[in-house]
Structure 1
Amino acid sequence: MESYDQLVVQYQPMIHKIIKSLHIYKNEDEFYQTGLIGLWEAAQAFDEKKGNFSNYAYTFMKGKMLLQMNQNNHYKEKHIYQQQEFFDAMDGIEPLPFLEKETIQSYCEGLTEKEAKWVIAMSLDQLSIKEIAEREKVSISAVKQWRSGAIRKLRETIATYN
């Protein structure tokens, strides 16, 4: 077996190819390091009697990166404060008056019906993305898209007032 430094030079393009194939565009350096760790672990665990090292290393590194992606997503689901995102979008506006439904709805002008549903459910009902998805019988991803669109549009509206 080659030295680890030689493996890094040889398998560096493979690590970058895996990152690209998984559509990783945030934290590429972190995933590159995860790929290097996967390569090292693959080299330690590889049994030459069982086949080709490059196939084994590819599978091992990709699995390690997928596990890292899953852990990152799980962390974000549990630790991002949805309400804070809403108020960050409202940054620059004077403190909101009593948040009754009509007042919140006035901020929703220019939003789609679904984006407005997210704003109201998050601010008035204090529901998480998962709870909104369950109530509306849609995927968590769909609710995240509503949130993203609402925040973008609210920021644009705020920018026009400043």
Structure 2
Amino acid sequence: MEHFNELVVQYTPMIHKIMRTLHIYKNHEEFYQTGLIGLWEAQLNFDPSKGSFANYAYTSIKGKMLVEMNQSNKHEERIIYPKEEFWSMIEDVNPESLLEMETLLTYCEGLTEKETKWVIANYKDCLSIKDIAKTEKVSISAVKQWRVGALRKLREQVEMQN
């Protein structure tokens, strides 16, 4: 391992030079690590009979970085990130929620206005008793009474249908 650490110290300037020649301006640390992997592979696969290690290391490091650039560019081309304005312009036009509300209101026939408010706030808006009390500006016990009345009447409706 000492031998590779010496290579890292010796070839770090080469890795940074390759990054500058390839105009890498994002993800410096990732590409530096890719360069180290290229250096590691160059050390493992080097054949002294075919030339100098410096030339082989340069080619190996640069090749590894080019492959990584290709993959990251393909990845970025496939993924589209909409701008922030896009999300603010989207309008929720969900016909299912309209049908859901109509269905919910059919169950509320025979309930008082306040009991209906509890049913809608609880089942459609998923609000707690505390939140309903806060929005309606009433006490928590008042909302609990709405709930008790609504549940009693809804049970009676279900029993009558059966």
| TM-score (structure 2 length as normaliser) | 0.52
Cα deviation code 1:93-127 (max 9, x no counterpart): 565699xxxxxxxxxxxxxxxxxxxxxxxxxxxxx
Larger radius of gyration: 2
What is the aligned-residue RMSD (CA, Å)? 2.2
| TM-score (structure 1 length as normaliser) | 0.52
Alignment of 1:16-95 (within 5 A): 16-78=16-78, 80-81=79-80, 84-86=81-83, 88-90=84-86, 93=88, 95=90
Q: Which residue of 2 aligns with 1:11?
A: 11
Unmatched tracts of structure 1, length 5 or more:
99-162
- SS in structure 1 of the partner of residue 23 of structure 2: coil
Classify 1:90/1:49 alpha carbon distance in 2 versus 1 (closer, same or farther; 3 Å): same
Separation in structure 1 between the aligned mates of residue 92 and residue 45 of structure 2, nearest angstrom = 62
Instruction: In structure 2, give the amino acid aligned to 1:62.
Output: K
| Count of matched residue pairs | 92
Separation in structure 1 between the aligned mates of residue 70 and residue 17 of structure 2, nearest angstrom = 19
Separation in structure 2 between the aligned mates of residue 8 and residue 51 of structure 1, nearest angstrom = 20
- Using CA pairs under 8 Å that are at least 6 residues apart, name the structure with larger relative contact order, 1 or 2: 1
- SS in structure 1 of the partner of residue 31 of structure 2: helix
Instruction: In structure 2, give the amino acid aligned to 1:77.
Output: E
Stretches of 4+ moved more than 4 A in 1? 93-98
Taking only the aligned residue pairs, the percentage that are identical comes to 57
Classify 1:36/1:90 alpha carbon distance in 2 versus 1 (closer, same or farther; 3 Å): same
